[in-house]
Amino acid sequence: MNPNNPSLPLAGIRVLDVSQVMAGPFACMLLADLGADVIKVEPPGTGDQTRGAMGFKMKGPDSMGFLNMNRNKRSLTLDLKSEEGREFFYKLATTADVIVENYRPGVVQRLKIDYEAIKAINPKIVYVSISGFGQSGPWAKRPGFDLMAQAMSGVMSVTGYKGEKPVKAGVPVADIGCALFATYGLLSAYIGAQRTGQGQHIDASLFDSVMAFSIWDMSEYWGTGVPPAPLGTSNKMSAPYQAVKARDGYFVMGATNQKLWAQLCALIERPELREHPDFATVPLRLKNRELLIETLEREFAGKDSEEWVELMLAAGIPAGPILSYPEAFEGEHGTHRRMCMEIDHPIEGKVKNIGFPVKMLGTPQQVRRHPPLLGEHNEEIIAEIDALHGVSSEAA
C-alpha cells in the first residue's frame, strides 16, 4: 500500500477527523479513499468508541465496524481537554483544509476548538459540524442517533406496513445520508475557499439529511393534504411496483408505465387486464393496488420466483430476486463490482472491507493505509508539525 499517491484527486488536502461512530468517520473515509490526508484525532486510551463496539471480538481491540469506516487514515491521540493537547491541535489546524467534528453543540466551544477559534488562525478552514439535530433550533442540544433521526423526521411513519408496530429502515439512512451531504457541502466549500481565501462553517445534521429523502412523500402531502402512510414495499408513484409472491416465495418487479403494463399483461397471458376498468391507467392501478396485486399473484403462483424474474427480464420488465447480504456481496455481480475487498492489517491479517461505492474510472480510489491502530501515527504526525513550526510539541 502506497500511503501517498499524487494522482488521486484529493491528494494534498488535509482533513482532521475529530468525529466518532459513523457519519463523520464515513465522510472522512470517502475523502481519504480519494487521496486526502485524513488525521483521525482520538481521545487517549479509548479512541473512537466504535473501536470497542459490536457484540463480537476480532483478533485485536478494534471492531469490524471500525475497520470498515476508517481505512486510509492516520491516528493521533490527543487530549483536547488539556492545554497542551489544545495547543498542539491549534498547530495541527493551521496545516489543515477541513475539520470534521461531531460533538454535541456547545462542546467544541467549551474545548475552545470551535469554528471561530480555528478561523482566527486559519481563515481558509472548512469546518464541518455533524450533529443529530443541527447547531440551532429547539432540539439542537439533544443527543441524536440514526434511530432518533428516523423517528423524529417522519421516516419511520412511512416505513413498514400500515397498522403494524414502528419499523426503522434496515440500514442507517440518517447516518449515511448525513455523511454524503456533509461531503457534498465540505467539498463545495473547499472549492470556494480556493477562490475567495475564506472557508466557512458547515452545519450538517442527521435530522435534516434524512428529511431530504422525503421528496415523494412530502410532494404527495403538499399536493393532497393527506399525511403519507407506510406502504410496505410498494410505491406511491406507480403500480405494480413492489415485492410480489410467486409459488416459492417473493421477488420484486415493476411495470411502472403503460408500455411495461402492456408487456406484463401479455407475459402472463391476461391481455384483457390491459384495459380493465380497475387497471387501465396508472392512477387506477394505484387506487386499486390491493386488488391488482391479488390478481397478479394468482398468476404468479404458477411458477417459481426465479423463473418469473427470467421471463420478465427477457420481456424488458424490471424484476429481481430478494437477496440476503451474503448472496448480494458474494454473488456474481457484487463480486464483479468488487463490493467486498480484502485489505492488509497488522493484527487481523486480511480483513474484509466494503468496496468503493462509486468507481472513479480516471483516478480510481485506492487502499493506501490500513485502518489505523489507536495512536499509531503519533510520532510521525508530531514530527511533521515540529518540523513545520520549528518547536518541540508532544501529543498528550
pLDDT digits (tens, 9 = 90+) for 311-323: 999 999 999 999 9
Q: What angle do CA 374, 127, 78 make, to 5 degrees?
A: 25
State residue 389's pLDDT score: 77
User: Does residue 175 carry a catalytic annotation?
Assistant: yes
Q: Is residue 281 part of a domain?
A: yes
DSSP summary character for residue 272: G
State residue 333's pLDDT score: 97
The answer to whether residues 299 and 194 belong to one domain is no
CA distance linking residue 49 with residue 103, whole number of Å = 13
Q: HSE (CB half, 13 Å, CA atoms) of 72?
A: 28
Is the CB of residue 149 less than 8 Å from the CB of residue 140? no
Instruction: Give the pLDDT mean for 98-123.
Output: 97
pLDDT in tens, 243-264: 999 999 999 999 999 999 999 9
Q: Using the predicted structure, report yes or no on whether residue 216 has a pLDDT greater than 70.
A: yes
Q: Domain ends where: 304, 323, 342?
A: 323
pLDDT in tens, 281-306: 999 999 999 999 999 999 999 999 99
The answer to whether residues 196 and 259 belong to one domain is no
Q: Using the predicted structure, report yes or no on whether residue 98 has a pLDDT greater than 70.
A: yes
Q: Which of 62, 97, 146, 175 is catalytic?
A: 175
pTM reported for the whole predicted model:
0.93
Any residues with CB less than 8 A from the CB of 200 and at least 6 apart, and which? 126, 127, 189, 192, 193
Q: Using the predicted structure, report yes or no on whether residue 70 has a pLDDT greater than 60.
A: yes
Instruction: Give the pLDDT mean for 100-118.
Output: 97
CA distance linking residue 338 with residue 395, whole number of Å = 38
The answer to whether residues 319 and 185 belong to one domain is no
Is the CB of residue 75 less than 8 Å from the CB of residue 373? yes
The answer to whether residues 175 and 260 belong to one domain is no
Instruction: Give the pLDDT mean for 14-43.
Output: 98
CATH number of the domain at 253, please.
Answer: 3.30.1540.10
State residue 320's pLDDT score: 98
Weakest mean pLDDT among 117-126, 365-374, 385-394: 385-394
State residue 1's pLDDT score: 62
Report residue 3's pLDDT band, with 50, 70 and 90 as the boundaries.
confident
**E strand residue ranges, the chain:** 14-18, 37-42, 73-77, 98-101, 126-131, 200-205, 241-245, 250-254, 319-321, 340-345, 349-354
3-state DSSP assignment of residue 284: helix
CA distance linking residue 105 with residue 253, whole number of Å = 45
CA distance linking residue 331 with residue 83, whole number of Å = 53
Q: Is residue 4 part of a domain?
A: no
Domain count, the chain: 2
Q: Is residue 227 part of a domain?
A: no
Any residues with CB less than 8 A from the CB of 349 and at least 6 apart, and which? 59
Average pLDDT, the chain: 95
* Host domain of residue 318: 241-323
CATH number of the domain at 45, please.
Answer: 3.40.50.10540
CA distance linking residue 288 with residue 258, whole number of Å = 16
The answer to whether residues 95 and 50 belong to one domain is yes
Three cell numbers, residue 212: 431530504
Report residue 395's pLDDT band, with 50, 70 and 90 as the boundaries.
very low
Q: Domain ends where: 302, 323, 344?
A: 323
Q: Which one, of 3, 19, 14, 18, lies nearest residue 36 by Cα?
A: 14
Report residue 391's pLDDT band, with 50, 70 and 90 as the boundaries.
low
pLDDT in tens, 327-386: 999 999 999 999 999 999 999 999 999 999 999 999 999 999 999 999 999 999 999 999
Report residue 392's pLDDT band, with 50, 70 and 90 as the boundaries.
low
Report residue 4's pLDDT band, with 50, 70 and 90 as the boundaries.
confident
Q: Domain ends where: 300, 323, 346?
A: 323
Q: Using the predicted structure, report yes or no on whether residue 393 has a pLDDT greater than 60.
A: no
The answer to whether residues 296 and 341 belong to one domain is no
State residue 390's pLDDT score: 74
Weakest mean pLDDT among 3-17, 60-74, 127-141: 3-17
What is the share, in percent, of the chain residues with pLDDT greater than 70?
Answer: 98
CA distance linking residue 143 with residue 105, whole number of Å = 9
Q: Is residue 383 part of a domain?
A: yes
The answer to whether residues 193 and 105 belong to one domain is yes
3-state DSSP assignment of residue 126: strand
The answer to whether residues 71 and 100 belong to one domain is yes
